[in-house]
Amino acid sequence: MMPSLLANFDVLLGFAILILTIFYRFQVPPVLGFLVTGMLIGPHGLGILGGGQNVELNADLGVIFLLFTIGVDLSLKELWKIKKALLLGGSLQILLTTALVLIVCSALGFSNPTSAFLGFLISLSSTAIVLKVFQDRNEVYTLHGKTSLAILIFQDLAIVPLILITPLLAGSSINFETSFSTVFLKGSLIILVFILSAKFLIPLVFYHVGRTGNKELFLISVVFICLSTALFTSSIGLSLALGAFLAGIVISGSQYSHQAMGNIIPLRDMFMSFFFVSIGMLLDIGYLLDHLSVLVLAALALIIIKSMAGMAVTICLGYPLRTSVLTGLVLSQVGEFSFVLSRLGIEYSLLPEETYQAFLAVSIITMGVTPFLINASYKPADFITKKISGMAYGMKLVHGLYSESIEEEQAEPEMKDHLIITGFGFSGRTVSKAAKTAGIPYIIVEANPEIVKQEKMKEENIHYGDATFGAVLEHAGIKNARVLIIGISDAAATEKIVETAKQLNPNIYIIAKVRDLQETKCLNALGVDEIVPEEYETSVEIFVRLLEKYLVPREDIEKLVNDVRANGYRMLRKLSDNTGIDSEFNIRDGLQGVDIQVLKVGNNSSFDGKTLTDLDFRKKHGVTVLLVRRGSDLIYTPQGDFFLQAKDACILLGKTEDLYNIRKFFESVHG
C-alpha cells in the first residue's frame, strides 16, 4: 500500500513539474497547470491515476488550509476601509449573477433548485488567479484592483453561508422553523466557543509555545488548532471548511497571526495543488472534446454574463465607467470555491453527472483565459468608455453615477500656478499635507466617490473624476497649473493622464509615482519630468537608516541622499534614452561642490524684517538668493531693498558647507 501511494504522489509531482514549467514560459497561472495535470493523469486521461481516497483526503486538507489562511489574513480594520465595495458590491454581485444564471438555466429546462445552485457556482470568481495576475502587473492597489479584491473577499466569505444553504436548497420538505432553530443553536454554540478560545485558550497556547522558541512546535500547534476547530464544526453537523475559517479569524486578531500565516502557507500551497489536481481528474476529456464548440460558447456566454453583472454592480457603487468595465472583466471567471461547492451539489443530487462535467469544462476554460483577458482588458475598457462618452448623458456614466457633472459643480475662484494631485491614497495625502503646510494652492482629483465624500466633509479641496479625461483636468485648472503629481498605482491610467495633461498644457511639470522601474521608460518618452519609483525610494530610506546606525553626521547623510537621488533618477532617464547621452547641464555636475537648497525664515529668525542689503548674504554667508516664495507668489531675483518676512521660503545657491552653516540663522535668533 505504502509504495503504491508514494508512486502515485511521485507521478503526480513529476507531471506537475513538467506542465507547470511549460505553463510558466507562457505566463499561465499555476492553478490551470494543476487542473491540466489532473486531466492528463486521471482516469479520463492517460489513466495513470484513478483518483481514490488519498487524493480526496489531500483535496479536503487543501480546502481546510485555504479557508484557514483566508481567515488569518483578514484584517477587520482593513476590511472596514472598503466596507462599501466589500459588503454592498459583493452581495449585489452574487445576487445579480445568481439571478441572471437562474433565468438562463430555467429557460434551458433546468429545475429551479439546480438553476439556483448553478447561479451560486457561477457567481464565485477566482481569488487565486486574479490576485496572482494583479501582483504580476503591480495593480493590486489600483482602483479597479482594490474594488475587485473587495468583491472577491466577500465571495470567499460567502462560501460559508452558501455551504449552509445548499442542503436547504436540495430538500423539498424541510421544516424551516426547526432548521432555523437548529442553525441558531449551533451558531450560538460556535460563537460562544470561539469567543472563549479567542479570549483565553488561543493566546495561552501560543504564549507557552512561543516561549520555547521552537518553530516546529509552533507549526504543529497551528495545524492542531486548524484541524481541531474544523473537526468541531463537522461534529455538530456543519462543514470542516467553516471551522477552519473561524479558527483563522480567531488567530487573525492575535499577535501571532503573521507567524501562523508564515507557517501554514507552504502546507496550504501543497495541499491546494492536490485539490486542483483532483478536480482536473474528475473532468472527462472525451466529453470535453466531443462538445468542445458548445462548451466554448457556454464559456463565452458565462464570461459575458459575469462581466455585465460585475460592471453593473461597480457602476451602482458610483465608480467611473472605465473602472467598472475593468472590474467586470476581472471577475468574469469561475473560482476555486465553486469546485468546493460543486462537490456538495453532487452529494445532494443538485448536479446531474452531465451537467457537472459541463460545469467543470466551462469553468476550466474561463480560468484559463483569465490572465489573457485581464492583460487585454484596457483596450475594450477605453473603447467602451469613449463610445459611451459620446452619447446623451454618457459623461454622467463615464464619471460615475454619484458624481456631479462639471457644469453643475459650483464655480470656484480661478486658480493659477497651483498644484494638481491625482489620487488621494497614501502618496496623495502626504503631498497635500506638505502643500498645505507650505502654503501651496492645490486641487485633488480622486475617482473613488467614498473618499471624495469623506474628504469634502473635512473641507478638503477635492473633486470627483477620472483624471484620464481632459474635461476633468480642465476643471482642475490644468492650463494654469504649474505642477501635476500622479500618485495612483495604475500604470495604464498614469500614461493616459500624462498624455492628456501634456496636450492641454505642454509646460506642466509632471511628477509621477511608479511601483516598478520598468514603467519609467514609457513615462520618460511621454515627457514626465520626475519619476519616483517606490522600490527606489525604499532603498534610499534603508540607506539613510544604515548611515544613521553607524553615526554618520546628518549633514553628510543629506548630501549623500541628494546625490543618490539626483544621479539615480538621471540614470533612469539615461537608461530610457537610446543615445545614452545626457545633454542637460546640471549644477551638481557642472559646478562641483555647489548646491541649491530651500530654507524657510522662522518666526523668531534674526532675518525677519531685514532687507537683502542689510543681510548681505554673499559677503557674510557665501550664498546667493535666487528667488523667494511668499505664500503662492514667487519673487524672482529679489532686489537689495526687498524685506524678508517670517515664513518666506528662500531658494539659495552656494557651497554645501555654506548652505549648512546658514541654516541656524533662518531657524532662531542669533546676536
**Any idea what the CATH number is for the domain that residue 355 is in?**
1.20.1530.20
Residue 290 C-alpha cell reads as 466531443
Beta bridge partners of 628: 635, 650
Return d(Cα 66, Cα 244) in angstroms, integer. 9
Q: Quick one: which of 106, 91, 129, 102 has its CA closest to 333?
A: 129
pLDDT class of 139 with cuts at 50, 70, 90:
confident
pLDDT class of 13 with cuts at 50, 70, 90:
confident
Q: Are residues 425 and 369 in the same domain?
A: no
State the first-to-last Cα distance of the chain, in angstroms, to the nearest integer: 93
Q: Are residues 571 and 595 in the same domain?
A: no
Q: Quick one: which of 540, 562, 413, 426 has its CA closest to 485?
A: 426
Residue 395 lies in a domain: no
Which pLDDT value is given to residue 270?
73
Q: Are residues 166 and 241 in the same domain?
A: yes
Q: Are residues 551 and 458 in the same domain?
A: yes
Which pLDDT value is given to residue 578?
45
DSSP codes of every residue in 269-329: HHHHHHHHHHHHHHS-HHHHHHTHHHHHHHHHHHHHHHHHHHHHHHHHTT--HHHHHHHHH
Lowest mean pLDDT among 337-346, 509-518, 576-585, 634-643: 576-585
Residue 461 lies in a domain: yes
Residue 580 C-alpha cell reads as 545614452
Which pLDDT value is given to residue 172?
45
Residue 6 C-alpha cell reads as 508514494
User: Which is higher by pLDDT, 587 or 86?
Assistant: 86
Residue 199 lies in a domain: yes
**Mean pLDDT score, 115-127:** 91
Return d(Cα 225, Cα 213) in angstroms, integer. 18
What CATH number should be reported for the domain holding residue 603?
A: 3.30.70.1450
* Range(s) of the domain holding residue 534: 419-575
Which pLDDT value is given to residue 330?
92
**Mean pLDDT score, 284-289:** 84
Say whether pLDDT at 70 is over 80.
no
User: How much is the mean pLDDT over the chain?
Assistant: 78
Q: Which of 317, 352, 374 is the last residue of a domain?
A: 374
Return d(Cα 538, Cα 462) in angstroms, integer. 28
Residue 399 lies in a domain: no
Q: Give the side-chain half-sphere CA count within 13 A for 215.
A: 5
Residue 166 C-alpha cell reads as 445548499
What angle is formed at CA 481 by the lines to CA 636 and CA 538, rounded to 5 degrees? Answer: 90
Which pLDDT value is given to residue 392?
64
What CATH number should be reported for the domain holding residue 535?
A: 3.40.50.720
Give the gyration radius of the chain's Cα atoms.
30
Digit-coded pLDDT (tens) for 291-331? 899 999 999 999 999 999 999 999 888 888 888 999 999 99
Which pLDDT value is given to residue 57?
62
Q: Which amino acid is located at 667 in the chain? A: E
Q: Are residues 469 and 535 in the same domain?
A: yes
Which pLDDT value is given to residue 78?
62
Lowest mean pLDDT among 235-244, 280-289, 376-385: 235-244
Q: Are residues 185 and 311 in the same domain?
A: yes
Q: Are residues 535 and 601 in the same domain?
A: no
10 Å CB burial of residue 133 (0-12, 13-18, 19+) is buried
Q: What is the spatial order of strands in the sheet that 594-600 belongs to?
A: 594-600, 649-655, 623-630, 633-636
Which pLDDT value is given to residue 434?
82
Any idea of the CA torsion for 478, 479, 485, 486, to the nearest 10 degrees?
60
pLDDT class of 184 with cuts at 50, 70, 90:
low
Digit-coded pLDDT (tens) for 21-47? 888 787 777 777 888 888 888 777 777
Say whether pLDDT at 580 is over 50.
no
Digit-coded pLDDT (tens) for 591-626? 556 777 888 888 888 888 889 988 888 888 889 888
Contacts within 8 Å (CB) and 24+ apart, 40-46: 40/15, 40/280, 41/11, 41/12, 41/15, 41/277, 41/281, 42/280, 42/281, 42/282, 42/283, 43/281, 44/281, 44/283, 44/284, 44/285, 44/286, 44/287, 45/281, 45/285
Return d(Cα 331, Cα 309) in angstroms, integer. 9
Residue 642 lies in a domain: yes
Q: Are strands 594-600 and 649-655 parallel, antiparallel or unpaired?
A: antiparallel
Q: Are residues 357 and 495 in the same domain?
A: no
Q: Are residues 257 and 291 in the same domain?
A: yes
Residue 379 lies in a domain: no
Beta bridge partners of 600: 649
Residue 586 lies in a domain: no
Say whether pLDDT at 482 is over 80.
yes
Taken as a whole, the chain contains a residue count of: 671
Which pLDDT value is given to residue 302?
94
Return d(Cα 532, Cα 487) in angstroms, integer. 10
Digit-coded pLDDT (tens) for 446-476? 888 878 888 888 888 888 888 888 888 888 8
Say whether pLDDT at 579 is over 70.
no
Which pLDDT value is given to residue 334?
92
Beta bridge partners of 653: 596, 624
Q: Quick one: which of 164, 157, 134 has its CA closest to 147?
A: 134
Residue 416 CB coordination number (10 Å): 12
**Mean pLDDT score, 574-601:** 57
SS percent in the chain: helix, strand, coil, step 5: 65, 10, 25
pLDDT class of 69 with cuts at 50, 70, 90:
confident
Which pLDDT value is given to residue 575?
43
pLDDT class of 187 with cuts at 50, 70, 90:
low
Return d(Cα 475, Cα 231) in angstroms, integer. 60
Q: Are residues 558 and 605 in the same domain?
A: no
Say whether pLDDT at 405 is over 50.
no
Residue 448 lies in a domain: yes
Say whether pLDDT at 570 is over 70.
no
Q: Which of 338, 358, 374 is the last residue of a domain?
A: 374
Return d(Cα 480, Cα 156) in angstroms, integer. 47
Q: With contact defined as beta carbons under 8 Å apart, do 603 and 646 qualify?
A: yes
Q: Are residues 425 and 531 in the same domain?
A: yes
pLDDT class of 158 with cuts at 50, 70, 90:
confident
> Quick check: helix, strand or coil at residue 436?
helix
Tally of domains within the chain: 3
pLDDT class of 569 with cuts at 50, 70, 90:
low
Q: Quick one: DSSP state of residue 616?
A: -
Beta bridge partners of 486: 422, 512
Q: With contact defined as beta carbons under 8 Å apart, do 316 and 92 qualify?
A: yes
For 463, the enclosing helix (H) or strand (E) is strand 462-464
This prediction has a pTM of 0.66
Which pLDDT value is given to residue 328?
93
Return d(Cα 560, Cα 298) in angstroms, integer. 61
Q: Are residues 571 and 618 in the same domain?
A: no
Return d(Cα 220, Cα 290) in angstroms, integer. 48
